[in-house]
Structure 1
Amino acid sequence: MTTTDPPGSTASFASAPLDPRTYRSLLYLLLAVPIGIGYLVVFPIAGSLSLGLSVTILAPVAVVATLLLAVAVVWADATLTGRLLGVEVSPWFPSRELGVAEFCKQLVFARETWTGLLYLCWRMALGIVALVVLSTGFSLTWGLLAAPLAYGEFLRIDYRLGVYRIDTLARALAAAGVGVVVGLLTLYAANLLGRVSAVVTATLADGRAADDHDATTDP
């Protein structure tokens, strides 16, 4: 795996807003929310249909169709991830030069098919995590940063231990300072999630190892 950043480099908490990778990761996470939710809808339905057809003569067709859908989605998703996060990845897909029987055999038994399914599970989980992190982080950030413009008798923050009233300029400025910290934490979390996503993609969705193995086993 190669990326646009030096190996092992990680943006610090304070430098996250200045790291270009942070904003690529933000875009990636914003896309991860609808994509992950879409996967949560589509693949359970596809799996249920395959399970329902498992007692009929269409069982092999259903299994192959579901796996083919998954492999195609992994290929497209990993390609998008590589372009957005700057990670070099070559997604695997069964060779289309094979006959139908060999193609199906490779699709069902190849390790890359099943690591691809793990990758899709990761993407579903990432969509939920991204939704929670971004919505919570940015809503808190903007709310706290706006305190100096809206402080007064009716502005307050409810938290587990009680209520904090922002009714003075000093308290409003303190709230804005907390907002800055929350914003930095959110950007840092986005940067970190982007880096983790790049590693996971290169580990689970890169098919170059399979291509190299096929090349060495060919006569």
Structure 2
Amino acid sequence: MTSARTTVGTILDRVRAWSRWFLGVVARKQTYANIAYLLLSFPLGIGYFTVLVTGAAIPIGLGFAVVDMAMTEPIALLIAGIPLSLVLVCIGGPLVAGVLFASIELTALERLLATRLLGADVRTSEPASTIRERARRLVFDRGTWKGVGYLFSKFVLGLCSFIAVIMGFAFTYALVAAPLHYRNQLVGIHIGDPIEIVPELTYQHEDWAVDLTSPIPLSITDGELVSVYVDALPSALVVSAVGVLVGLVVLHLLNAVAWLLARYTELVLDGTQPSVFSEPPTE
């Protein structure tokens, strides 16, 4: 009898602990820090992508121009080769160096955000002691290129994070607010027009181009994704109660996404260089 009571008490303690954990997601500060990080990832990802692509476009374009001229008009290259090489070195070189320097500083910003908002623990490499060492590591340090890859990935991760937050909140609101509009068939989450996405990447230079197009288009038909139509207030209150439960689940899912992003940041940015502004070279 005592053993049975002990077992029942243990089960009840676990149920209470699980309930506190599940319901307490609303009161935890970390939940809202995670949501802030997920929302910030979208504009930051767009900014990172713009800086990297814009800075790299000119030197890459100049490089393709030299290769194209060598393949199609080698004689003209003998005449214009030196000026083009000077332009490539004098303009393209500093632009690449500037992009790599910016990537190191933006990587440092990402480490700061992940540490402050997600509680991640991202280790950095030893800071450069001289300007010469800093310049060498700018190009040849593996951490620089890890940071560049991470910043590019933030464009996709930020977009997915933003969609997850917005869709989760919209879905929850449509359910929780059912008593306010339970007889309105127009209330819900709709797609007004069909959406078709055909992933395509094109690089074109004069008479030739390289096209990378997905053979499978991604399409979403028009219609209603979520409907909350009911014809009685008691039913609407039940839908609203379900919406509260769904909202708690959404918060836990967003916390899980933030946890995965924290682990991803720790893995990819481990050993990257510290910011030059926080730890400048001494010489």
For Structure 1 versus Structure 2, the TM-score category normalised by the shorter chain is 0.7 to 0.9
Cα distance in 2 for residues equivalent to 1:209 and 1:69: 12
AA matched with 2:151? L
- What SS class does the counterpart of residue 89 from structure 1 fall into? coil
Check 1:181–1:40 CA distance in 2 against 1; reply closer, same or farther (3 A cut).
farther
Residue 122 of structure 1: how far off its partner (Å): 2.9
Answer yes or no: is the 8 Å Cα contact 2:146–2:272 preserved in 1.
no
AA matched with 1:40? F
User: Do structure 1's residue 61 and structure 2's residue 61 form an aligned pair?
Assistant: no
* Residue 52 (structure 1) aligns with: 61
* Residue 194 (structure 1) aligns with: 258
Cα distance in 2 for residues equivalent to 1:30 and 1:109: 33
Structure 1 residues 62-100: Cα deviation after superposition (integer angstroms, max 9, x where no partner): 22221111111101221222111122324458615142x
Calculate the TM-score normalised by the size of structure 1: 0.75
AA matched with 1:197? L
Residue 133 of structure 1: how far off its partner (Å): 0.6
Question: If you compute each CA radius of gyration, which structure gives the higher value, 1 or 2?
Answer: 2
Check 1:208–1:60 CA distance in 2 against 1; reply closer, same or farther (3 A cut).
closer
AA matched with 1:141? T
Corresponding pairs, count: 198
Answer yes or no: is the 8 Å Cα contact 2:30–2:117 preserved in 1.
no
Q: CA RMSD in A?
A: 3.0
Residue 140 of structure 1: how far off its partner (Å): 1.6
User: Do structure 1's residue 28 and structure 2's residue 37 form an aligned pair?
Assistant: yes
Could you tell me which runs of 5 or more consecutive residues in structure 2 were left unpaired when the two chains were aligned: 1-19, 67-87, 191-222, 275-283
- What SS class does the counterpart of residue 165 from structure 1 fall into? coil
Answer yes or no: is the 8 Å Cα contact 1:75–1:93 preserved in 2.
no
Calculate the TM-score normalised by the size of structure 2: 0.60
Check 1:124–1:91 CA distance in 2 against 1; reply closer, same or farther (3 A cut).
farther
Cα distance in 2 for residues equivalent to 1:206 and 1:71: 13
Cα distance in 2 for residues equivalent to 1:21 and 1:144: 25
Structure richer in strand, relative to its length: 2
Residues 35-114 of structure 1 mapped to structure 2, 5 A cutoff: 35-54=44-63, 55=66, 56-58=88-90, 59-92=92-125, 95=128, 97-99=130-132, 102-114=133-145
- What SS class does the counterpart of residue 57 from structure 1 fall into? helix
Structure 1 residues 165-217: Cα deviation after superposition (integer angstroms, max 9, x where no partner): 3221233123213422431232122201211121122112232799xxxxxxx
* Residue 4 (structure 1) aligns with: none
Q: Percent identity?
A: 32
* Residue 156 (structure 2) aligns with: 125
AA matched with 1:80? L
Cα distance in 1 for residues equivalent to 2:99 and 2:226: 51
Check 1:209–1:109 CA distance in 2 against 1; reply closer, same or farther (3 A cut).
closer
